[in-house]
Chains A and B, each alone.
Chain A
Amino acid sequence: MKFSTFRRHLREGFKNIFRNGWMTVASIGAVTTTLILVGVFLALVLNLNEMAVNIESDVEINTMIDLTATEEEIITIGDEIEQISGVDSVSFSSNDDELAKLVDSMGEEGESWRLFEQDNPLNHVYIVRAQVPEDTERIANEIETLSGVESVVFGQDVVEQLFEFNKYARTIGLVLIIALVFTAIFLISNTIKITIMARSTEIGIQKLVGATNGFIRWPFFIEGLLLGILGSIIPVAVILGGYYYLDKNFSGNISFSFVEILPFSPFAWQLSLMILIIGAVIGVWGSVMSVRKFLKV
């Protein structure tokens, strides 16, 4: 396309935006509402997902060793665990270590446990990590079959619940967002349809003197693109502002390590870019829908 032609399309596209007044405002408003919801939802789901992944990768298998096991047997068990495929690390924690941990974690009440220091009732433990979280369960099962192992314990339930919750959140959010996106597309395509109606004489003459459909389509395409991009300005501001606030006030403040949110940079920027792109796609889609039908002659 020639530059002069492109400039013409751009000018016409902008003109259309202003000409349509309230319809323009309405469709930009629809895009804005949609994108804010999409943005908040994406921030939520992506963060939850990240948390679930973090927890999952945090999952350790605690291998309780029989109280009767000899030192040699304990070493053998350690070697055997290391032989299992997919095992990342194996570390030994004696019953004294375990008791210390227990006492620590219970604070005041823990003091009473000190009574057991002389006659420790706890097991020696191997703490095992899988290379990939998905293998945790299989490895745990294999360890359980080794002789000298009393039992294995790992926090599979928490992870599964989080993923389950996330799955529901995603499905519901997706349905909601798709409905909103289509509403926005519908509004944009109607706005552009109004332009097209208003300009039908002009389009008729354009066709009469031999303008190609592509040429006629461009200004409407640009109008749609502009509506989408204008509609994404406020959502991007909300995301950047809101996320910056959260990141600043939330991150250091929380005692559970896994509830850390994704860092502002690059996450908020990536999300903003995504919102902008979704806005542009909504706009272009809306314009394509309304123009396609019209040019079919």
Chain B
Amino acid sequence: MILMNDIYKTYANGVTALNGVNVDIKQGEFVYIVGPSGAGKSTFIKLIFREVKPTNGKIVVGDMDLSKIKERKVPYLRRNIGVVYQDFKLLPKLSVYENIAFALEVIEEPPKNIRNRVMEVLEQVGLKNKARFLPNELSGGEQQRVSIARAIVNKAKIVIADEPTGNLDPETSWEIMKVFEEINASGTTIIMATHSKEIVNTIKKRVIAIEDGLIVRDEHRGDYGYEI
């Protein structure tokens, strides 16, 4: 599903974020990416949906070889990948419903399909009764549910999340994790960068630890492994 072969990433300012990364993630896996701040977790994640390009090395996502993919094919790569951020990235002037429908409109989904599909995912994340609310009328956890709903609304096979619980209190974080587990249970690959020892050690999944741009540990049902 996702294959990285000897990936290097040096940013324009000369900072090397990744230093020869090899990884193989199968369809349906749930993977935590852990490691100290500045280790290269976000960079790793951004490579997968072509937010950044590797300086060197080969990445394959699904059936697309990202080292060979043409620039104009990138949008189609992204239609297979849902992205969830720490800060939700919702549009403040659009309702919950519109924020999710937006993701289908811009990929030119037929309007008649949009309504049903949006209501479906709202149900899935437990926000059906808040479809007309604006983002700032929701709690942080609810906003994150909206952004998750947006990530999965086009039936993405991969969901990538960069510290999705970073802005949430522990209680809410658990609820959000439950949503991710459900999505994973339906066969979606999940890759999540996190600093939460609690979560990683409780909901046991594959753990990939990155330090100084290198994968230093890759275990099934692993531990967080750092003291905070």
Binding site for B on A (CB under 8 A): 2, 4-5, 8, 201-202, 204-213, 215-216
Q: Quick check: A210 and B75 within 8 Å, CB to CB?
A: yes
Contact B106 A210 (CB under 8 A): yes
Given contacts A215-B106, A215-B108, contact A210 B79 (CB under 8 A): yes
Residues in A with CB closer than 8 Å to B48 are none
Instruction: Please give me the residue from chain A that is nearest to B108 by CB atom.
Output: A5
Partner of B105 from A8, A204, A216 at Cβ < 8 Å? A8
A2-B108, A210-B106, A211-B106 given as contacts; is B91 within 8 A of A204 (CB)? no
Nearest chain A CB to B83 CB, angstrom units = 5
- Is B14 interfacial (CB 8 A cutoff)? no
> In the bound complex, do residue A205 and residue B91 qualify as a contact, i.e. CB atoms below 8 Å apart?
yes
> What would 15 more interface pairs be, CB under 8 Å, given A5-B108, A212-B75?
A2-B110, A4-B110, A8-B105, A204-B89, A205-B89, A208-B89, A209-B78, A209-B103, A209-B150, A210-B107, A210-B154, A211-B75, A212-B72, A215-B108, A216-B106
- Chain B residues with a Cβ closer than 8 Å to the other chain, count: 20
Tell me the dominant secondary structure on chain A's binding face: helix
**Is A209 in contact with B107, judged by CB distance below 8 angstroms?**
yes
8 sample A-B contacts, Cβ–Cβ < 8 Å, listed by A number: A2-B108, A201-B89, A202-B91, A209-B107, A210-B79, A210-B106, A210-B154, A211-B107
Q: How far is the CB of B158 from chain A (nearest CB, A)?
A: 12
Using Cβ atoms and an 8 Å threshold, which residues of chain B touch A208?
49, 78, 83, 89
- Nearest neighbor of B79 in chain A, beta-carbon distance: A210
Complex CA gap A8/B98 in Å reads: 13
Give B90's nearest chain A residue, CB to CB.
A205
Which residues of chain A have C-beta atoms less than 8 A from B89's C-beta?
A: 201, 204-205, 208
Chain A residues contacting B105 (CB-CB under 8 Å) are 8
Nearest CB in chain B: distance from A259 CB, A: 58
Residues of B contacting A216 in the complex (Cβ-Cβ under 8 angstroms)? 106
Most chain B Cβ neighbours within 10 Å, of A8, A208, A211, A215: A208
Which residue on B lies nearest to A1, using beta carbons? B108
A201→B106 CA distance, assembly (Å) = 14
For B79, B106, B108, the residue with the greatest tally of chain A CB atoms inside 10 Å of its CB is B106
A206 B106 Cβ-Cβ under 8 A: yes
Pick the residue among B103, B111, B150, B154 that contacts A4 (CB under 8 A). B111
From A5, A207, A209, A213, B102 is in contact (CB under 8 Å) with: A209
> Which residues of chain A have C-beta atoms less than 8 A from B102's C-beta?
205-206, 209
CB distance from B27 to the nearest CB of A (A): 19
CB neighbours (8 Å) of B78 from chain A are: 207-210
Indicate the member of A4, A8, A207, A210 with the most B CB atoms within 10 Å: A210
Which A residues are CB-close (under 8 A) to B76? 210
B50 CB to closest chain A CB, in angstroms?
A: 10
